[in-house]
Amino acid sequence: MKSTFTIDDQRLIIKSYRSLLRACKPIIKKDSLKEIRKAFQFALDSHGNDRRKSGEPYIIHPLEVATICAREIGLGTKSIVAALLHDVVEDTSATLEEIEEMFGPKIAEIIKGLTKVSGLMGKSTSEQAENFKKILLTLSDDVRVILVKLADRLHNMRTLDALPQQKQLKIASETTFLFAPLAHRLGLHAIKSELEDLSLKYTEPHVFHDIQSKLEESKAQRARLIRKFVQPIEQTLEQLGYKFTIKGRLKSIYSIYQKMQKQGIPFEKVYDVFAIRIILETAPSHELEKADCWRVYSVVTDIYTPNPSRLRDWISTQKFNGYESLHTTVMGPSGRWFEVQIRTQRMDEVAEKGFAAHWKYKEGDGQHGSMGLEEWLSKIRELLESSDAEALEFIDDFKLNLFSEEVFAFTPKGDLITLPHGATALDFAFEIHSDVGAKCIGAKVNQRIVPLSYQVRNGDQIEIITSRNQKPHEGWLDIVVTAKAKSKIKASLKEEKRKVSMLGKDYLKLKLDKTKLGFDNNMLSRLAKAFHCKSVIELYYQVGNEQIDKASLSRAIKEIDNQAKQGQAPATLRKKKKNQVPQAEQGDKKATEVLLVGGDSIGLEYHLAQCCNPIPGDHIFGFITSKEGIKIHRTNCSNGPSLMSKYGYRILRAKWDIPEIEHITFHPVGIKIIGIDSPGIVSSVSQIISKELKVNMKSISFRAVDGAYKGTIVLEMQDTEHLEELIAKLKMIHGVETVQRFNNDDELGISG
């Protein structure tokens, strides 16, 4: 094929290829470079003259993904080769057989895991959920599939500018919902942080750029504070003979934003926007590393006063993803809190490169195996092998294993059990063994009887009480939070349903054999229709558990027998439920349109979602529901990431079509006000809202405790400009510290 690449294109390809080779140099043996060159040439030939949406040659993408695998994750030759080839089977005429013949079965297996599912998903299923499930299914063979996939997602996020806004929102939401937590779980802190920052950049660009510019403005001041803080620590450690490096690390934009949202404070009130990291040059020996870290902790807390509630010891008990470090928060110069992280070089590499670094140190020293990760991966394999759930249900269960907070509890014999934060005594039972969970009737926590719904706390010692007669039931699914427990309960319920269905089937056969109607598909279908059962299996189940009583069944059989004799169509025996509105399928044409909210350019009906109550000026998107038409959500709605990542095919681009003045409508908005209590504060707030700006208040509530107050007000606002003007004026009142809009108006009871 004749190349259409320009000289600039060729220079760009050569530059990217050389960058990959430089990244490989510290981790790849020289003779392995031949395999990488061969993979690069094969990918270059396969992709030919293809270009990405940005206009650059397509080959740049696999080169960049391979470079991320080498430089930022520290993966080896097979992963780098797989990264170079990851799109050739899906996007070109190359086949898996060719890959296997040229590069071996292991590379072909990784490529197979990375190749997207196509043509298998219907409109009722999220393609990304199916794709993600397929990738996870390869985990039982090779975790490198997921690591390469994360590198692929990171490069796609770095180049998201080239895509239209609707796709940007969908991909960014998927990233926050699934890929960033997965990177965190695999210990890839730097990649997790960058994925979250890039997601925020596209879901809430105004927030991202505002925090970014404020960080840039405070850069010089921050550098001075760090120098002043670090100086006495450096002097003391040098006197004690330690070899070390001290770095000032800026917190990610996403984590700063999360803190602002959680605490209801502006950027200026987030004091710990940076952390100090002390990295020790200590030989990789657990006892030596642990002792050195605690000695340095002692040095830091001798110089600065620590906050006792902020000590985090992840050296004695490492995090689920292998993370080890000592964290403390101390009061530094100028009355500023500083977070200090103390770790060794090995710990730092594991913190940055996660799973790949664990392999490296495990080979060199058995003490540093990634046990936490291996246990987690073992659990995931078990979940994958036992799960036959729909993709969306599976992803919901799987996400439960990605949350960062965990609790540690003990069995009566002293064995340590790790569970996600919020796990219950019933989860603990299933974690010990599936049979223990299935037969669990109660629990003792620290010698005290507790309900199965008791939430496990750090340090609890738990004894599970069982009974041979106990069986899982539907209500348990509301108690457990771990994917393992949910999976086992669902499997047990399914088996129980099968047994009940068999009883129902046997009873029906006995009943129908006594008639001339016969036990055949036609008769069973007529009975199922008569009782509004979705299938014959459902009919068996309802007969087996006596939802359909024997008298009703006898009447139905008799009526069908009479109708058959008279040649009539069967009548239904129950009042029909209201017809469900069919799932809205707007078609490809409408999905690409922009829904003008407030206008009628494409004639689609919509409703404003009550979970976030958008108002004109908010960034919004439309979501096609199955029963209530199109709902308009704010892009920062708490439900947004889940909707966009699971149901991307139902998302509509939307923007406000601001009406003329005479058609202005008002929308409910909730704000909260926090400040120092002083006489007349409520009067001052009401004066500005009602008299000065003439805004209608739907409700107002103020509560003062120990000299501070918190107020919540529900207002009727015209648009975001109107709201911002109000917030600016309220902030000027003496005694008002923060004024913030509620992100989820359910908290104020707006949705009713």
The catalytic residue positions are 90-91
Query: What would the DSSP string read from start to end of 287-300?
Result: HHHHHHHHHHHHHH
SS3 state at 598? coil
Distance, in Å, from the CA atom of 349 to the CA atom of 320, rounded to the nearest integer, reads 16
Cα separations in angstroms, 513 against 502, 507, 559, 637: 16, 10, 16, 58
Distance, in Å, from the CA atom of 382 to the CA atom of 386, rounded to the nearest integer, reads 6
Residue 704 parent element (H or E): strand 696-705
Is residue 458 within 8 Å of residue 408, measured between CB atoms? Answer: yes
The residues with which 277 forms a beta bridge, in sequence order, are 247, 341
Distance, in Å, from the CA atom of 275 to the CA atom of 329, rounded to the nearest integer, reads 9
Q: Which two tokens stand for residue 163?
A: 């895509």
**Among the listed residues 540, 507, 547, the one whose alpha carbon sits nearest the alpha carbon of residue 525:** 540
Q: Give the pairing type, strands 606-608 and 630-634.
A: parallel
Residue 546: count other Cβ atoms within 10 Å of its Cβ. Answer: 13
At 696, phi and psi to the nearest 5?
Answer: -80, 130
Helices (H), 264-413: 286-303, 345-353, 355-364, 371-386, 391-399
End-to-end CA distance of the chain: 64
Residue 599: count other Cβ atoms within 10 Å of its Cβ. Answer: 12
Return the DSSP state at 162: G
Residue 416 parent element (H or E): strand 416-420
Strand order, beta sheet including 708-717: 696-705, 708-717, 667-676, 736-741
Return the DSSP state at 744: S
At 723, phi and psi to the nearest 5?
Answer: -65, -45
Query: 32-58 burial by CB neighbour count: b if 16+ within 10 A, else e?
Result: beebbeebbebbbebbbeeeeeeebbb
